[in-house]
Structure 1
């Protein structure tokens, strides 16, 4: 079967599709990944064919306005970034749309697995009557009793909760209608037709049921089939300084904000360093690519070691606890390796994962990035570090996750 995987967003949005692609390729399916061009190397690492969706979308996200709008700013700066991003996004969105159309037509897939951040596949389903499956790496994208849509994170009562899902469906339909105008299709599909496809398309949540048990009210086409990771061989090795640091400390905290930016990286890093030094807590701080954590010039410490782009599957098994931005992949990996965890959410689903971690008991509820200070962070960090119940709960959850293997269910749902 020819299968097209379509995803848009940051690297974390590509990972579930890459893991699925590897699984499908092993079953002899012909798999192509349609991602932004910046992620071509990821597809190639997994031995998957690649089709570029262009560079403009990621370039927009990485722009000053994009970083401010997506978590790097607060107050007026964030609003200004969002406005500028909205004004600048048309060329990027059109490139994504036209590239998606071209790849759907050229590959002529039997099946499309797609992200909710893409729009063309819904129109493709209407045009061809072929099958597509929505892939969701985050919870609460469909109505679940006792919770609003992920974008509104919370429980506001049944009526308002249902309204948040209807509102997001309506917004997506409007976006798809706009895309249809850009494509200049005739005859055009109606909003009613588009909404019907949105609501009837089967969905696989690539989320661990340990973290997000399948809601009882979910209809059969909505499945929660576990978190999968790519099976790439790890050849990474630590340098001498990191090896020496780990040899000196038997209990270590890992801190990362992944690719997320924030408005005050120097101030936030210093607040974290003050807490760690004052309480003599050994920590590895990952600066990654987002610029959200910045090592001070000439900084040296017996308790803190800065790294960049360290593989999580190497470092997490060696950590007692993790403070992170609350991305889906990082949340899963921290719990999988039995790490006590706390999120510092920046945007969207990260607030949901913050709640899920706290409710699971693997760590205290974190604070959002624009509220971070020594005063707000220190008591939470010390609680994470000193409360043995968090580590115990994380290790219990890790054992439960280790039992999860939904490969047969995934293949069965995709091939049916």
Structure 2
């Protein structure tokens, strides 16, 4: 089959789609990925056909960008609506035109994140099967509230209602741009209701989020979608020597997060780490690593499946990809969420006892972070993390997703 994959977002959004594309290719399918430009090198490294899309997600996270306020003041639905609405207005027509051309001869479309209504529109007009690919659950359930709300305890009816409200807000902030592009490109009337009940595959561990019993039969929890292991990968001499020189260090990294109060975060982590050995991955943060103490060893992009089992605990932002990688490594997490679903994952890890209660990244201070590190160092926390790691590492998320896509996109399934 010929399949077109489309996503737009940070590295945490794009990496799982690259992993899925590789799994589909290895199963004998022809795959084209449309994605945010920063994913191009990863796709090229693995020989996955890739076309960059309009827009620059890193720019939206920087000061003045659409998502900057979320990084510095915390995530709330109203601010997210304004921020993502701007992204929709700037890019929807270009995305829709590009996907319509790319998927013309495809047997199916798999979409993720901000490209949902673009993909559903194109699939509808071309008569193609369309499958959602989620990095966090958005399908309504009584089991838990929307992942885009801070974790809270509510009755089942309120949980389900929260999904309906948030999903309506998401539709409303993309609706005008979606309908304008549909009218211009396809000459169709405005769509008033959002799409429902299309197949959705969640790149989520069932050990972190068990599949709700009240979900539609075509909403599946497959397990995380990880890049293939690199058995021949070797660290540079500096990293190898640092790891060999003492006890397992802390890992600190905030992935694609940018635009937050760097000085506040650096001050908190340096004082809270308090001389412990630490590996620091700057990512997109823009943090000046020259100011870090000698106990910090700065690293570049390093395979998580190699690195994380060699650390004592991981301080991170709670992105879905990093959350699953740390869980699979069997080490505790210390989560400083900034926006979006990061609060959901922070709450999930805390509920499992493998992380302390989270503190939002924009509110962190040395005392709070020191207390969180102490929780992660407890033997009980380490034991729970190790048990979770064994379970998550045994999952085969990409394989399950590839099999499901094969069923949904088989002839006559549209």
TM-score normalised to structure 1 length: 0.87
What SS class does the counterpart of residue 66 from structure 1 fall into?
coil
Stretch deviating more after TM superposition (198-207 or 374-383):
374-383
Q: 1:30 matched to which residue of 2?
A: 30
What is the alpha-carbon distance in structure 2 between the residues aligned to residue 59 and residue 391 of structure 1? Answer: 34
CA distance in 1, matches of 2:80, 2:165: 24
Task: Give unpaired runs (5+ residues) of structure 2.
Answer: 408-414
Tell me: CA distance 1:63–1:100, structure 2 relative to 1, closer, same or farther (3 Å).
farther
Output the CA distance in 1 between the equivalents of 2:338 and 2:125: 38
Shift of 1:101: 3.0
Structure 1 residues 100, 63: closer, same or farther in 2, change over 3 A? Answer: farther
Provide the C-alpha distance between the structure 2 equivalents of 1:102 and 1:149, rounded to a whole number of angstroms.
34
Match of 1:294 in 2: 288
CA distance in 2, matches of 1:113, 1:155: 33
**1:376 alignment partner, SS class:** helix
Q: Unmatched 5+ residue regions in structure 1? A: none
Larger mean Cα displacement after TM superposition, 170-179 or 3-12: 170-179
SS in 1 for 2:50: strand
Q: 1:60-100: CA deviations, max 9, x gaps?
A: 4244222753643228xxx9999688667633344333323
Per-residue deviation at 1:399?
A: 1.3
Q: 1:88 to 1:262 in 2, by over 3 A?
A: closer
Tell me the equivalent position of 1:389: 380
Q: 1:52 to 1:407 in 2, by over 3 A?
A: closer
Match of 1:284 among 279, 288, 292: 279
Q: Is the 8 A contact 1:66 1:81 kept in 2?
A: no
Which residue of 321, 326, 330 maps to 1:334?
326
| Residue of structure 2 in register with 1:245 after alignment | 242
Match of 1:190? 191
Distance 1:263 1:408 in 2: 37
Q: 1:415 aligns with which of 395, 399, 406?
A: 406
Kept in 1, the 8 Å contact 2:96–2:119? The answer is no
Q: Quote the Cα distance in structure 2 between the aligned partners of 1:266 and 1:223.
A: 41
Deviation at 1:19, TM superposition (A): 1.4
Aligned equivalents of 1:80, 1:147: Cα separation in 2: 22
Taking only aligned residues, the RMSD between alpha carbons, in angstroms, comes to 2.7
Distance 1:11 1:406, change over 3 A: closer
Match of 2:212 among 208, 212, 215: 215
| Contact in 1 for aligned 2:66/2:86 (Cα 8 Å) | no
In the alignment, is residue 206 of structure 1 matched against residue 203 of structure 2? yes
> Which stretch of the first structure deviates more once superposed, 114-123 or 307-316?
307-316
- Residue of structure 2 equivalent to 1:134: 132
Match of 2:16, SS? helix
Alignment correspondent of 1:95: 94
Q: Quick one: which of 149, 153, 156 aligns to 2:154?
A: 156
Aligned residue pairs total 401
- Residues 44-193 of structure 1: matches in 2 within 5 Å? 44-54=44-54, 56-58=55-57, 60-66=59-65, 69=68, 71-74=70-73, 90-105=89-104, 108-118=105-115, 119-139=117-137, 141-153=138-150, 154-174=152-172, 175-183=174-182, 184=184, 185-192=186-193
Q: Structure 1's 180 and 88: CA in aligned 2 closer, same or farther, altered over 3 A?
A: closer
Bigger RCO of structures 1 and 2 (CA < 8 A, at least 6 apart): 2
Check the 8 A contact 1:343/1:367 in 2, yes or no.
yes
